[in-house]
Every structure is written in C-alpha cells, then in structure tokens.
Structure 1
Amino acid sequence: MGSTVFNKLLLVAGFASLAHAAFSAAHHRTYLRLTEQEWTSLPLDIILQTVISLVLVIYNIIQIVGNFKEIRATVDMQQKTWDTLGNFPSFYTFNHRGRALNPSYKTPKPSEIEASK
C-alpha cells in the first residue's frame, strides 16, 4: 500500500518535471528568438531533465499498473476447461419468442407488465 502511494507521488513529480522541461525548452526558444540567435539545439540541462523525467514516469507507470498479461491468447486458453470455452454470458437471451411457442405460455396482461416494473 505504501509503495503504491510513493510510486504515485513519484509519477506526479515525473510529470511535473516533464512539464517543466517542456516549459524550459519553449522559454529557451523564445529567448533565442528575442536575441536573434540561431537555434542549434537545447541546452544539456533541459535534455537531461527531459530524459530523467521520462524514465521516472515510465518506471512508475509500470510499477502502478502491475502485472502484464501475456500477449499470446493460448496462455489464457490453457487454463480453461472444455466446458467453459463455449460459455459466453453476454450472449444469454432471456426475452425471446421461444416461450411463445410453448403451449402452456400465457401472454401477460398489460396490468401485470406495469406491476412488474
């Protein structure tokens, strides 16, 4: 529990540092335009801040998210039995016309339908 809070704080700090690096790069570019200097590259401190912030963000995102799932579908399928392979609960249908074909089926009256709501 404590490590996830720490990782989240480091993630926020990494994003803040990355935003600061972007602001510093834009500010440096503006400074070069005002002084009419030619732009060659960013200063080393801005590049280092960007790279370190990016590594910090990536590492903490991986720590917060947790375990990755295997890309291959066969790994998940090996744990299932033959009975559960064809089981798709999202395709279950309870309101269909099959019950109207039942000889003992009685159509509900409108008052019964409103009472059940």
Structure 2
Amino acid sequence: MATFCHLIVIAGILGLAHAAFSAAQHRSYIRLTEQEFTRLPADIVLECLLSLIVTCYGVITMAGKFKGIRAMAEFQTKSMDTVGNRPSFYSFAHRGFKKQPEEAKTKNDS
C-alpha cells in the first residue's frame, strides 16, 4: 500500500511539473506571437487542479490512519499531574547558579 501511495504522489508531482512547463511554454508562445496574455488555457488549469488533487490524496493516504479529535479517550487513564507536565519547559541553564546567596559567600570567604 505504501508503494502505491508513493506512486500516486510521484504521478501528481509529475503532473504538476508538466502543467507548470505547459504554462511556461504557452506564455512564451504568447510573447512570440505578440498577443495579449489574458489567461491560461482550460486544459492547463484542469491538469494543474487534477494533479493537485491527486498529490493531496496520495499524501493523505500515505500519512496513515488519523487519530480521533476527542482527546478524552487518550487522557482518561492519566492523572492531571501527568497531563499538565511539560518537561520541554524545564530550564536548568539559567543565570541563577552564578548568583550565590550571601550566606554562601561569607562561608567561602572565611
């Protein structure tokens, strides 16, 4: 299944690249014929949108199964102390260790 998803994503990206190349080629053709550029042809726009949808589908399918939105199922077994714990906010490298208390200075001086 993963290989199939990768192939879908690759096909979608190649389609997007082809649509971009076609748009650039159309733009240079318009310049050479000295016509006014109004908009891209419908086939290029359709190819771009279809390739975008195919790429998004492949990426979503490759990501796997989504989790539920409700967090209660995951947090029912945990206490509030473990839920509110944020170890990434712990800070041990602060400037407080450079400032010694007055008692420690007087003991070191004696």
TM-score w.r.t. structure 2 length?
A: 0.66
The answer as to 2:79 corresponding to 1:81 is: yes
Deviation at 1:47, TM superposition (A): 1.1
Distance in 2 of aligned mates of 1:41 and 1:86: 54
Give the CA deviation at 1:33. Answer: 0.6
Structure 1 position 11 matched with structure 2 position 4: no
Q: Matches of 2:35 and 2:24 in 1, distance apart?
A: 15
Residues 33-78 of structure 1: per-residue CA shift (max 9 Å, x gap): 1100111111121111101100000011100112334566666434
Distance (whole Å) between structure 2 residues aligned to residue 58 and residue 79 of structure 1 = 35
Detail structure 1 runs of 4+ shifted over 6 Å in the superposition. Answer: none
Q: Distance in 1 between matches of 2:7 and 2:52?
A: 15
Q: Which residue of 2 aligns with 1:107?
A: none
Structure 1: 5+ residue runs without aligned partners? 98-117
Residue 48 of structure 1: which of 37, 43, 46 is its match?
A: 46
Match of 1:27 among 10, 25, 28: 25
Tell me the equivalent position of 2:103. Answer: none
Change (3 A) 1:18 1:76: same
Q: Cα distance, 1:82 vs. partner? A: 4.2
The alignment-based identity, stated in percent, is 51
**Deviates most, 66-75 or 43-52:** 66-75
What is the CA–CA distance in structure 1 between the aligned matches of 2:77 and 2:11, rounded to whole Å? 40
Counterpart pick for 1:61 among 59, 73, 89: 59
State how many pairs are aligned. 91
Q: Quickly say closer, same or farther: Cα 1:79–1:24, change in 2 above 3 A.
A: farther
What RMSD over aligned residues (CA atoms) do the two structures have, in Å? Answer: 2.6
Tell me which amino acid in the other structure corresponds to 1:29: R
